[in-house]
């Protein structure tokens, strides 16, 4: 009787979570044994869990802006580190190459966008459970693209450069409507340095101004509205 696949849901939107549960419970082979509405509680709940999930469906855009940095990425890192047997299936609204590849590299076993067909979700769950991973065409392309970038850094055309830690710091503050001067103060650096970082950001993200930067940050899940 225990050949059911135990599933854990990590998703903040209540209705989406319930809908997912409703879909999954129409299949005999699945059982939802674990739920969490934010990144924080996942590790706690896993520690005190008697019926461990085999597969964890993780929503990537978990945190509210400014709350903390325990988002889908952090959850993935922590689970990969502490529960290597649990398969992680990322569920995200972001259909972005660099992002998909990043998650896979960090140890996720599959990546699905939220526009996917329910059938694909159930397929993916079965695949990560039995085969250990689920890589669809979309994901494969993203991974290959990243691989190619790693090798030919000489190619000037590979524009989707990753942002550096400091650039991300500046980006977050720019999105908080801070001026260059304020950002410099907050990071204990010169305004000219902030200027440099912002200019690099504009180039790397192909933006024309801060509006573009904010949209980029949102698209990448670096910040959240509401």
Partner DNA sequence: GAAAAAACAGGTAGAAATACCCGTTTTGAA
Partner DNA sequence: TTCAAAACGGGTATTTCTACCTGTTTTTTC
Q: Of 45 and 166, which CB lies nearer to DNA in the complex structure?
A: 166
167 part of the interface to DNA, by CB under 7 A: yes
179 part of the interface to DNA, by CB under 7 A: yes
176 part of the interface to DNA, by CB under 7 A: no
Q: How many other β-carbons are positioned within 10 Å of the β-carbon of residue 90?
A: 28
Label residue 53 exposed, middle or buried (CB < 10 Å: 0-12, 13-18, 19+). Answer: buried
Judging by DSSP bridges, how do beta strands 87-92 and 30-36 pair with one another? unpaired
CA atoms of 9 and 18, how far apart (whole Å)? 10
Pick out residues in 107-166 that bind DNA (CB under 7 A): 153, 162, 164-166
- Strand, coil or helix: what is 85? coil
Q: Of 6 and 205, which CB lies nearer to a second copy in the complex structure?
A: 205
Q: Of 44 and 81, which CB lies nearer to DNA in the complex structure?
A: 81
Binding string, 196-225, against DNA, x = CB under 7 A? Answer: xxxx--x-----xxx---------------
Footprint of DNA (CB under 7 A): 153, 162, 164-167, 179-181, 187, 189-193, 195-199, 202, 208-210
């Amino acid at each position: 009787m225990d050949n059911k696949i135990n599933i854990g849901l990590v998703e903040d939107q209540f209705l989406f979570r319930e809908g997912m549960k409703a879909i999954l419970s129409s299949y005999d082979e699945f059982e939802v044994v674990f739920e969490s509405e934010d990144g924080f509680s996942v590790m706690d709940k896993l520690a005190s869990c008697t019926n461990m999930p085999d597969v964890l469906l993780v929503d990537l855009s978990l945190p509210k802006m400014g709350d903390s940095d325990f988002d889908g990425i952090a959850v993935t890192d922590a689970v990969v580190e502490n529960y290597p047997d649990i398969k992680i299936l990322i569920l995200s609204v972001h259909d972005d190459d660099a992002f998909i590849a990043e998650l896979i590299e960090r140890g996720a076993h599959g990546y699905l966008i939220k526009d996917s067909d329910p059938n694909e979700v159930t397929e993916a769950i079965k695949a990560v459970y039995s085969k250990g991973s689920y890589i669809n065409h979309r994901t494969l392309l993203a991974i290959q693209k990243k691989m190619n970038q790693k090798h030919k850094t000489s190619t000037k055309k590979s524009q989707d450069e990753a942002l550096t830690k400091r650039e991300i710091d500046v980006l977050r503050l720019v999105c908080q409507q801070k001026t260059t001067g304020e950002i410099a103060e907050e990071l204990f650096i010169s305004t000219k340095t902030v200027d440099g970082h912002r200019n690099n950001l504009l180039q790397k993200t192909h933006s024309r101004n801060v509006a573009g930067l904010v949209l980029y940050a949102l698209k990448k899940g670096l910040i959240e509205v509401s």
